[in-house]
Every structure is written in C-alpha cells, then in structure tokens.
C-alpha cells in the first residue's frame, strides 16, 4: 500500500508482471489476515458511511471523496468477511483488495474505483474490546435504520456519480446479501460477487471439468457441503429450495456421500479439512474422475488441499503436485477474480444498465472456453492465473456482445471491433519508452 501511495503505476506494474506471486498477497489468503489486524496496519482509509454520524452521511462522505469520475464502487458492511465472520470496519481490506484487482486484472482506471464500508457496528466482542478498533463500538444494527442507511448510500452514489456507476456488494451476511440483490438489481447497476461471482467461477470450473469426465452437466449429481445460511426452522432458504431433495435425515457427510453417490462434491461452508481421506477415497470408489471443489477461503478454511484431493482420488492456491508416477499436476484456484473484474470492465466500458445472472453465465462459459487441452492435461480446470488479464478481456468483450444483443448496453455507436476497443480502453501500467533525443543534452567533447 505504501508503494501504491508513492508510485501507483509501478505498484500495478509489479502486480501485473508477477500476478501469480502477488495475487495471494493482494487478496486471499493474505487479505483475511490483514482485515483481522486492520487496526494495527491502518494507514489510508477508504470511504466510511456510519449510523452514528449526522444525517445524509453517505452524501457528505461521497462529496468529500476527491475523485469525481468514479465508475466502480465496492461496498461492504463487514458482517461476513471471507470465512472469518463479522470484522466490522476492519472489513475495509476487502473493497480495497477487490478494487486493486479491478485494475491489475481488468485494467479499470484506479482513479475510477472507490472502496466503501457502511459501518453499522459489530457483534464481534473481540473487536468491541480492541482499543485500536476504528469502527462504532456498538452491537450491529440490522433494523430499519440499517436499511435506510443502505438506501441512502445507493441514492447518494447514483446522484454523485451517475446511473452508470457500478456498485458491487461484497461480504454482506446472507440474510442481507440476497435481499439487497433482489431489491436493487433492477433499480441500479449492481451485482453481488459472493452470490453471482462465486456461482459463475464454480460453473466455469464444472464446465471445464466435463471435458475430462465426459457427458453433460445434467448427467451429474452435485453434493454441496454447506448450504449457506438456513432459516431458523432448519429448512433451506427459498432461492435454494428448488435444488433440495427429500431424503433420510443424515448428519454425517461420509454417510451422505455413500448414500447418494454424487459425481461432484463442492465445499462451501468454510470448515477446514472436512474432506477427509476417507471421504475423498469414497468419492473415487464410484467415480473414475470425481469433481472435488474445495471453495472455502482463506486457505486455512479450505476443505482439503490439492495434494490430498489428487492423492486420495488416485488421480485457495496450492503448489503443483507431483504424483508417484512423476506426473506434475497444477491445481487451479477457483477464484472469483477470473470473473468479476472482466464483468466489471465490460459493464463500465459498454454502459451495461443492469447485470443479470445471464451475464455471469456468459462469463462462466467464456472462462471455461479458455481452458485448453494442455491445461486439462496438467490437471487444470481454470486457465493459469498468469493469463487472468486475457480472461478478463475476453469476458468484457462477451459482456458487451450480450449487452448489445439484449438491449442493455448504452454506449453508442457500438464499436466495430469489440475486443480491440476493450484493449484500448484498459489502464496501462507501462512506462513510455525513453527518447534520449527528447532533451537538448549538453554537447561533450
């Protein structure tokens, strides 16, 4: 962050030239630890909107932000940071990290990005007792006052930056995340990366994996370990209800796997190590190539490591794995960064008015199409992370194509060469070549 303050172009040059090495530092898993210790490392704030300040707090906050041409806002209330839970104002590291990826991965101008935390308190007693905690020292508010503050923020953001300003909801608890997405998706240009981005990157990996396992997606039986937040009655929430199936009551994951024999096992409950050797071996006992997605982050919350998955089926980022026969496999990281930066870039460049689920499906298909046979042979179901900038370009182009074909793009005239237009409009981290003849240097003997 100090380098970013001193020399922004150099910061992004380092990031882009060393993406595979720097991604885990800029975002997961390091960002989780950074958020947990945010009070110790606090240097430069983003923008904070708070319940305990004056009325019209969001309007005043946005008016004070020095940049006037903001095109993308990432906003959180800090209630569900990664798999770490309620970190309150310490969650600012997430919008800051996400927007750094907007620029590094998709070339969105850094001056057009704004990180925001809506501070409504925290239920994390450790933070409330922390003398360095920078947020409101009150229990979290989730009532009408909270809804009014979010509404005020949305209204103020559009009034300040225009209707085309993209707003990304990030790390809201499920009980707020889904209802805010439904409330605002057709009123503003918004998406929720935890809902739509995560789904999209998972679908991309599944689509690519079908080229290994064969068959259609409908031929597969998917078992999710964790269904997110359930109602107090114990049933799944409405948007997941259509995927639930009646079955005997079972609480042991291994018993469930033996009973229903899924072809794909997807971990999404942030329970580290839950995919045990016995579970992985059981999946391999009735699948030639079981699909194992350990999606939880940070790395400490991953359901299993790539090495464990490869080893026990005979077949966040992990190192390449060398099998007993000498074959080296390169595990892919099912990271949302394959999806959301490209979607954001396409939305900004082509003036997409509303971001539908279909756009994220198009992004998933595009990402999966970039997985080559060589990648599959290496054990990858995602393109190498070093190629993620190219993935973003292709996704942005496809978002534009979809937008024009469905009447939701507002940039006119339509560019004749969509991909070329995307490349030309991306932020450049390159320095101009030095011309020694530019200056009238003193002549020497």
Q: What is the pLDDT of residue 230?
A: 47
Percent of the residues in the chain that have a pLDDT greater than 90, as a whole number: 63
Per-residue confidence band for 233, with pLDDT thresholds at 50, 70 and 90: very low
Taking 80 as the threshold, does the pLDDT of residue 229 lie above it? no
Grade residue 44 by pLDDT with cuts at 50, 70 and 90.
confident
170 annotated to a ligand binding site = yes
368, 339 contact by CB (below 8 A): no
231 has pLDDT over 50: no
Residue of 12, 90, 98, 184 marked catalytic: 98
Better pLDDT: 325 or 162: 162
pLDDT tens digit sequence for 358-416? 999 999 999 999 999 998 888 889 999 889 999 999 999 999 999 999 999 999 999 99
| pLDDT of amino acid 54 | 47
Mean pLDDT of 169-183: 94
Average pLDDT score over residue span 164-184:
95
Q: Is 98 a catalytic residue?
A: yes
- H/E stretch holding 280 reads helix 277-285
Specify whether 27 is catalytic.
yes
Q: Give 307's pLDDT tier (boundaries 50, 70, 90).
A: confident
Burial string for 151-168 (b: 16+ CB within 10 Å, else e) reads ebbbebbbebbeebbbbb
Query: pLDDT tens digit string along 90-139?
Result: 999 999 999 999 999 999 999 999 999 999 999 999 999 999 899 999 99
> Among the listed ranges 144-148, 215-219, 329-333, which one has the minimum average pLDDT value?
329-333
Two tokens, residue 323: 């099998």
Helix, coil or strand: residue 48: strand
Instruction: Tell me what pLDDT residue 421 has.
Output: 98
80 annotated ligand binder:
yes
Residue 379: what pLDDT?
80
Asked whether 217 and 393 are in contact (CB, 8 A), the reply is no
Determine the average pLDDT of the residues in 195-199.
93
Q: What pLDDT is recorded for position 241?
A: 78
Top pLDDT among 54 and 222 is at 222
- Average pLDDT over the chain reads 88
Q: What CA–CA distance (Å, rounded) separates 161 from 141?
A: 27
28-55 mean pLDDT: 80
Considering 12, 27, 48, 188, which one is annotated as catalytic?
Answer: 27
**CA distance linking residue 112 with residue 241, whole number of Å:** 39
Dump the DSSP string for 181-208.
HHHHTTTSSEEEIIIIIHHHHHHHHHHH
Spatial CA neighbour of 73 closest among 352, 344, 342: 344
pLDDT at position 232? 42
The whole-number pLDDT of residue 441 equals 58
The reply, when asked if residue 248 is annotated as ligand binding, is no
Average pLDDT over residues 262-285: 93
Q: Is 60 marked as binding a ligand?
A: no
Confidence of residue 328 (pLDDT cuts 50, 70, 90): low
Q: What is the pLDDT of residue 105?
A: 95
pLDDT at 28 over 60: yes
Q: Which residue has the higher pLDDT, 348 or 235?
A: 348
Task: Give me the mean pLDDT over the 17-22 stretch.
Answer: 90
Can you tell me the mean pLDDT for 50-68?
78
Q: What is the mean pLDDT of residues 340-346?
A: 98
pLDDT on residue 77: 96
Q: How confident is the model at residue 253 (pLDDT cuts 50, 70, 90)?
A: very high
CB atoms within 10 A of CB 42: 13
The predicted structure's pLDDT at residue 385: 87
Q: Output the CA–CA distances (angstroms, integers) from residue 50 to 53, 55, 146, 157, 287, in the order listed.
A: 6, 10, 10, 15, 52
What is the C-alpha to C-alpha distance for residues 422 and 278, in angstroms, rounded to an integer? 48
Domains in the chain: ranges and CATH: 2-188 (3.40.50.10380), 197-229+238-329 (3.40.50.720), 339-425 (3.40.50.10380)
203-217: average pLDDT: 92
């Amino acid at each position: 962050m100090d380098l970013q303050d001193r020399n922004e172009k150099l910061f992004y040059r380092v990031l882009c030239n060393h993406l595979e090495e720097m991604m885990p530092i800029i975002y997961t898993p390091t960002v989780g630890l950074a958020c947990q210790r945010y009070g110790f490392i606090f240097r430069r704030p983003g923008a904070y909107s708070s319940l305990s300040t004056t009325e019209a707090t969001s309007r005043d906050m946005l008016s004070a932000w020095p940049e006037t041409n903001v095109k993308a806002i990432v906003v959180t209330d800090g209630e569900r940071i990664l798999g770490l839970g309620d970190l309150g104002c310490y969650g600012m590291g997430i919008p800051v990290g996400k927007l750094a990826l907007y620029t590094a991965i998709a070339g969105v101008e850094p001056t057009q990005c704004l990180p925001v935390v809506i501070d409504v308190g925290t239920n994390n007693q450790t933070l409330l007792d922390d003398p360095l905690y920078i947020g409101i020292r009150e229990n979290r508010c989730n009532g009408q006052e909270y809804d009014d503050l979010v509404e005020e923020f949305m209204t103020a953001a559009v009034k300040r930056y225009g209707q085309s300003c993209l707003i990304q909801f990030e790390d809201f608890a499920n009980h707020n995340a889904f209802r805010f997405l439904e409330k605002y998706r057709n009123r503003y240009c918004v998406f929720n990366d935890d809902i739509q981005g995560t789904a999209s990157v998972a679908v991309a990996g599944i689509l690519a994996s079908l080229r290994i396992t064969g068959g259609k997606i409908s031929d597969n039986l998917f078992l999710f370990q964790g269904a997110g937040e359930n109602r107090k009655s114990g049933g799944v929430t409405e948007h997941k209800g259509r995927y639930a199936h009646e079955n005997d009551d079972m609480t042991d994951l291994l018993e469930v796997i033996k009973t229903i024999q899924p072809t794909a096992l997807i971990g999404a409950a942030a329970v580290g190590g839950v995919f045990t050797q016995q579970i992985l071996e059981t999946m391999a006992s009735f699948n030639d190539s079981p699909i194992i997605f350990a999606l939880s982050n940070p790395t400490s919350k991953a359901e299993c490591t790539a090495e464990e998955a490869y080893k026990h089926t005979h077949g966040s980022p992990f190192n390449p794995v060398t099998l007993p026969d000498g074959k080296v496999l390169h595990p892919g990281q099912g990271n949302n960064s394959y999806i959301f930066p490209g979607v954001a870039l396409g939305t900004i460049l082509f003036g997409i008015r509303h971001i539908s689920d279909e756009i994220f499906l198009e992004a998933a298909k595009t990402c999966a199409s970039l997985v080559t046979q060589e990648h599959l042979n290496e054990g990858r179901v995602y393109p190498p992370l070093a190629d993620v900038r190219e993935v973003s370009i292709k996704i942005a182009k496809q978002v534009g194509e979809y937008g024009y074909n469905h009447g939701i793009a507002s940039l006119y005239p339509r560019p004749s060469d969509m991909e070329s237009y995307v490349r030309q409009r991306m932020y450049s981290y390159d320095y101009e070549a030095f011309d020694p003849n530019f200056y009238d240097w003193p002549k020497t003997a």
